Amino acid sequence: MATLHIEGGRRLDGQIEVDGNKNAALPLLAACLLTDDACVLSNVPRIRDVEAMCRLLVSLGADVDGIGTTELRVQCTRLTTDEPDRALVGTLRGSVLLLGPLLARRGRARLAPPGGDFPARRTIHAHVQALTAMGARHVDGADYALDAPDGLRGGSIYLEEASVTGTETALLAAATARGETEIRHAACEPHVVELARFLRAMGVEIAGEGTPTIRVEGASAARGATRRLDGDYIEAGTWAVVAVLTGGQVEIGGARLSDLEPILAVLGRMGVRWAFDTDRLRVEPSTLSGTARITTAPWPGFPSDMVSLTTVLATQAAGRTLIHDWMYELRLFALEQLSGMNADLFLCDPHRIIVTGPRRLRGRTLDSRDLRSGMALIAAALAAEGASRVRPLETVERGYARVVERLRALGAQIDIDLEEG
């Protein structure tokens, strides 16, 4: 387990390139199971979650070349089991995306409870709902066990919530199912669109991605495909917040303006000065002001993944800001640690927090409990006076590649202490 030692109060300046979208990499890797042919993905983020998904594919019998690099070649000529490695499944929420391809290829799927952030509070009801609508049936026993001995068939699916991974599960299952599938109340996020385009390159007929209704005509046999992942807009938003918190000027390359608009709209309302040219976002030193309310919403609303960082930003904004994340519980609890840094916070309930600023943050020891709040606490430590310790680093490395190296390149003073255990 690694601990970061951060000396705060240093201005960060320079240029940084975002990696490929983590939330697209995982479903695209799962899609590679649908074909015997080789698939090649480039601009892949070198993060722990992607490595875990690659190891899961290997545990099923796939050949994966390039693990730990930005280009992966995946070939699933022969799947040897319908049960992914239980220990790896327990580390990765995205492992649920394997259910559809396993049912398509083997007619059976056995999955231990998926891990990741807050696993006890994040169910896979939407995923199972979609799969049973396409002919899969529950098998009595522990964990998640589904059979489709006669194969999957197209169906009419209404998702009770616009779940991103639920929509992706439905797309993956429908890709080679017999007949047409209609998915209603589908998620519209850019990574859902990216998965649909990858499946289309694999020979699947798809229409309506990016809207609440998606129609899929299953392919009799999916073929290999190649795709360069789009830039990660959440990562771009992260670097923008880090730049503003430290009073710096940072140019961020690789993300699309259309993906960044929901984030930039909120940051702009808080006084963040930014400009966009081609594929480069420039963030400049800014005078921040509180805003009455920031509320998360499904795409194209403000993403829940930016809530933790925006809460830290609000500690440096003049006035009061109410942040309301109705989509997820528990995400805000980890941010109570900011109070120990001299932030003025009032946690109303698991979904709402009121932040009053500006307050000068002071360094302290911080606990990185989940991916997004962990990165937010690193940002707070960079903005604070004095030294902070943030641990474990591994939580943040699930979704941010080479975070220490890249922060140092911008001027941050960070050391790493490797601990046993």
Other CB atoms within 10 Å distance of the CB of residue 336 = 12
Residue with tokens 């199972």: 128
Q: Which residues contact 278 (CB under 8 A, 6 or more apart)?
A: none
Q: What is the DSSP letter of 300?
A: T
Contact 236, 254 (CB under 8 A): yes
Q: For residue 105, which phi and psi values (nearest 5 degrees)? A: -85, -35
Residue whose C-alpha is closest to residue 300's, from 233, 351, 235, 364? 233
Q: Is 147 within 8 Å of 107 (Cβ atoms)?
A: yes
Residue that has been written with the tokens 């220990």 in this structure: 87
Which residues, 6+ apart, have CB-to-CB distance to 199 below 8 Å? 31, 171, 172, 175, 206, 216, 222
- Tell me the three state secondary structure of residue 77: coil
Judge whether 117 counts as a catalytic residue. Answer: yes
Question: Residue 68: is it exposed, middle or buried by C-beta count within 10 angstroms (0-12/13-18/19+)?
Answer: exposed
Please identify which residue in the block is written with the tokens 């080479």: 402
Residue from 19, 49, 82, 117 carrying the catalytic annotation: 117
Q: How far apart are CA 196 and CA 208, in angstroms?
A: 9
CA proximity to 267, closest of 248, 297, 242: 242
Determine the Cα–Cα distance for residues 369 and 372; give it in Å rounded to an integer: 9
Active site residues: 117
